[in-house]
């Protein structure tokens, strides 16, 4: 959790990748008609890279129920509580940025992130553990570090469309690293099923956001997983099927924020 706090401080100070999330003069706004036209064009511009795999929209609950309930350690529980809200953060940021920019990729991946956060919730319910999401409103979190992070990422993502896509890449970069860390702390079959499927989905999302970013002349350097792993993900094909090709390296970049063990 210390690393998450460190990232929020870095974001506020502009210390990560040159970002500055302190108060900035608002850029000149477009004419209302031009902005509306841009948003409409973005909503109509749909490519195969925008759409997550159909399996990202399928509940894992039946598979979870078929697996045995095992003892749940405090570390495993802490990881589930954190990942439940981290996946919600991804959903909420993408939903907010879709409302700002109208680019279809944010809406599609927000739907996928909904199934991700529900999958973690289903594990908590299976073990009769309380859900940290007591208010599912967009942008509301129990974890106050995640609350601050959501606020900062939205500020960044609302500057330009390229910034918004960079936020998408960064969230997935972080999510993969945090899921890798959580996989290393559990041997419960049901938890591993969820985490490995979430990594597979996050790697697909990373490819999609990066494709959109680079097509607009943007770039991004890995902050949390290793540069080698980042390149391997970007250069490989989208993943399909449950539990396949979803592990990735257990050695993350370790820099910045998120949950590290």
Low-confidence ranges of the chain (pLDDT < 50): 2, 5-6, 9, 13, 15-26, 31, 44, 54, 243-257
Q: 102 is in which domain, residue-wise?
A: 72-261
Residue 42: its pLDDT value, please? 58
pLDDT 10s digits, 51-77: 565 456 567 888 888 999 999 999 999
The confidence score (pLDDT) of residue 24 equals 40
Residue 24 lies in a domain: no
Residue 221 is assigned to a structural domain of this protein = yes
Burial group, residue 257, by CB count within 10 angstroms (0-12, 13-18, 19+): buried
Question: Is residue 260 assigned to a domain?
Answer: yes
18 domain-assigned: no
CA distance 39 to 41: 5
pLDDT, tens digit, 9 for 90 and up, residues 21-34: 333 444 555 545 55
Answer whether residue 37 is part of any domain. Answer: no
- Sequence-distant (6+) residues with CB within 8 A of 192 are 183, 186
In a domain, 33, yes or no: no
CATH of the domain at 168: 1.20.1260.10
236 in a structural domain: yes
Give pLDDT, residue 259.
65
Domain count, the chain: 1
In a domain, 168, yes or no: yes
Q: What local confidence, expressed as pLDDT, does residue 52 receive?
A: 60
Task: Report which secondary-structure segment, H or E, holds 68.
Answer: none
What ranges in the chain are assigned the alpha helix state H?
A: 2-13, 32-44, 61-66, 74-101, 104-126, 144-157, 161-183, 189-215, 227-235
Q: What is the pLDDT of residue 239?
A: 79
């Amino acid at each position: 959790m210390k690393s998450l706090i460190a990232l929020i401080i870095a974001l506020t100070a502009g210390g990560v990748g040159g970002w500055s999330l302190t108060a900035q003069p608002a850029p000149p706004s477009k004419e209302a008609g031009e902005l509306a036209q841009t948003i409409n064009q973005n909503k109509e511009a749909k490519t195969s890279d925008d759409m997550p795999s159909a399996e990202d929209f399928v509940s894992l609950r039946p598979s979870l129920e078929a697996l045995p309930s095992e003892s749940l350690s405090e570390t495993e529980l802490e990881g589930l509580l954190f990942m439940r809200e981290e996946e919600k953060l991804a959903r909420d940021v993408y939903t907010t940025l879709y409302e700002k920019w109208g680019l279809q990729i944010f809406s599609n991946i927000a739907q996928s992130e909904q199934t991700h956060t529900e999958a973690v919730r289903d594990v908590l319910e299976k073990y009769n553990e309380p859900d940290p999401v007591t208010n599912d409103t967009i942008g509301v979190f129990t974890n106050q570090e995640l609350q601050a992070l959501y606020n900062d990422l939205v500020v960044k993502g609302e500057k330009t469309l390229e910034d918004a896509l960079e936020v998408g890449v960064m969230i997935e970069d972080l999510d993969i690293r945090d899921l890798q860390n959580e996989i290393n702390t559990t041997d419960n079959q049901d938890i591993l099923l969820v985490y490995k499927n979430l990594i597979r989905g996050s790697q697909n999302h990373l490819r999609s956001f990066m494709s959109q970013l680079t097509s607009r002349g943007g770039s991004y350097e890995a902050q949390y997983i290793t540069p080698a792993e980042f390149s391997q993900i970007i250069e490989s094909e989208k993943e399909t099927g449950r539990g396949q090709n979803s592990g990735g390296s257990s050695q993350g970049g370790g820099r910045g924020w998120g949950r590290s063990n």
